[in-house]
Amino acid sequence: MAAKAFSRSITPSLVLLFIFLSFAQGKEIMVGGKTGAWKIPSSESDSLNKWAEKARFQIGDSLVWKYDGGKDSVLQVSKEDYTSCNTSNPIADYKDGNTKVKLEKSGPYFFMSGAKGHCEQGQKMIVVVMSQKHRYIGISPAPSPVDFEGPAVAPTSGVAVLKAGLLATVGVLVLGLF
């Protein structure tokens, strides 16, 4: 009886709002997948760019760096400064050891170490944020020549399909309550 009273007190719009908000939030992503990954790579295969190429970043996600703020920093820079390891004109400079950067638009983001000589030794990373039009549920269609913006679009993960299925199931359950 109590369960029925509780279910009647939840309106369909409240449930749908909760679902929308839970799916709309970005993720916090630890750079390199672990604390201490922000360092000079020991080899090409240890590069953070190798890690970033395998990840899928969405608008609203946040990158998180954990490092010794007394010895290093994170600089967000232009493509030109990234290529030349120029640390003198960063877009943003983070030195706190616990840096969090929200990815607010699609396209490439360029990061490098602010410690002298670290960028030249490979401590830098490019992150590419997927555009909204590349968020598909199900199988992604091949881009037409007009849509082509650069590297191939990554296939959509099963998570999007799972979210769509969950949303449909909850909608049916909510409608069944009334």
Q: Tens of pLDDT along the chain (178 residues)?
A: 555 554 555 555 544 444 444 445 689 999 999 999 999 999 888 899 999 999 999 999 999 999 999 999 999 999 999 999 999 999 999 999 999 999 999 999 999 999 999 999 999 999 999 987 655 444 444 443 333 344 444 444 444 444 544 444 444 444 454 4
Q: Quick check: is 165 in a domain?
A: yes
**Total number of domains constituting the chain:** 1
- Give residues with Cβ within 8 angstroms of 141, minimum separation 6: none
* 111 class by beta-carbon count within 10 Å (0-12 exposed, 13-18 middle, 19+ buried): buried
* 56 class by beta-carbon count within 10 Å (0-12 exposed, 13-18 middle, 19+ buried): middle
Residue 75 and residue 144: Cα distance in Å, rounded? 35
Q: Quick check: is 59 in a domain?
A: yes
Which amino acid is present at 27? K
Q: Quick check: is 10 in a domain?
A: no
Q: Quick check: is 16 in a domain?
A: no
Instruction: Write the Ramachandran bin of 87: left for phi over 0, alpha for psi from -120 to 50, otherwise beta.
Output: alpha
With a threshold of 0.75, does the pTM exceed it? no
Domain hosting residue 84, numbered range: 24-135+143-177
Q: Quick check: is 151 in a domain?
A: yes
Q: Domain holding 99: CATH number?
A: 2.60.40.420
Q: Quick check: is 166 in a domain?
A: yes
Q: Quick check: is 42 in a domain?
A: yes
Q: Quick check: is 17 in a domain?
A: no
